[in-house]
A = this chain, B = another copy of it.
Amino acid sequence: MSEAAYVAVDWGTSSFRLWLMDRAGRVLAESRGQEGMMAAAKIGFATVLQSHIDAVGAADHLPVVICGMAGARQGWVEAGYIDTPADLASILQRAVPVPAQSRDIRILPGIAQRDPKAPDVMRGEETQLLGALGTDGEALVCMPGTHSKWASVRGGRVERFTTFMTGELFSVVSRETILSLAVANADEAVDIQAFKSAVAAAFGAPAFAANLLFQVRSGQLLYGGSAATARERISGTLIGLELAAGLGQDGLRDRSQRGITLVASGSLGELYRLAFDTLSVAVQCIDSEDASRRGLSVAAKFLAANAIWTL
């Protein structure tokens, strides 16, 4: 077995993932937890990190590179933002050290779009972009999640990006509105047809989003239908609305761009793949965890190449 060289951490709002890495960027061990920024702010960031380092048995001297919400103002140490247009390589130069720790710990900055007409921020996704596209990539990238991000990248530079509250809207609409009656006790069965037709309907008439959502309830009242179907329709409506902005006429897509890259994992990745497929849009899929880890590896190599770390 190869020797451990550093620790890579993706520290989100509500999730924590740590990998023990060798010099070549291979994973030697992994530890996951629910202690995202919100929980860690109460428990203590150093305590949470140490418990996961102990779980993978990393040596005391190994350095740590972190991306995500740990660098937010409410996080561990504020890592600031690079402004758009932002070279992905420049996030490597702006890693912020966490002071007064026994080992070297660095947090990567986020990216800010300081445009009063379209203000936006990301933390963590810049590292996924770096991992997915490298420092000279070019693509329109869709990164689904609680707050989905679409980023236009050319020559390794993030030119613009746009956040959609799609995942969070799904959560509150299906749990906290009258639609909770329609989705109550839904089983896991995925109604692919209901999802696809909801995507197509919202994509075709995005202005009607708040009506298409209500139809989930009125349709069930007048015509019946399962709770799982209702859940799929809510999900399809909100994803279709997002894709209408991302792909539509007034959308983010510049047809000259070299294609669309979907950076996602698991069942959410499957749903978005199905949504793009519904609209006959070809996408290249990259696993979002792989992308984060690769981006963190690029950062580790940069720190070593610049004699900040000795790996």
Residues on A close to B: CB < 8 A? Answer: 112-114, 116, 118-121, 147, 162-166, 168-169, 172-173, 176-178, 205-211, 213-215, 218-219, 221-223, 238, 241-242, 244-245, 248, 250-251
Contact = CB atoms under 8 A, between A and B. Distances in A.
A209 B241 CA distance: 8
A119 B223 contact: yes
B119 A221 contact: yes
Contact of A207 (B116, B176, B248): B248
B214 A120 contact: yes
A245 B212 CA distance: 11
Q: Which residue among A168, A173, A210 has the maximum number of chain B CB atoms within 10 Å of its CB?
A: A210
Contacts of A118: 211, 215
B206 A164 contact: no
A211 B162 contact: yes
Given A147-B214, A205-B250, A211-B162, A223 B116 contact: yes
B207 A120 contact: no
Contacts of A114: 222
A222 B118 CA distance: 11
18 contacts: A114-B222, A116-B219, A118-B211, A120-B215, A121-B222, A147-B214, A162-B208, A164-B214, A165-B211, A165-B214, A166-B210, A168-B177, A169-B177, A169-B210, A176-B176, A207-B244, A210-B238, A211-B245
Nearest to A116: B223
Contacts of A209: 206, 209, 241
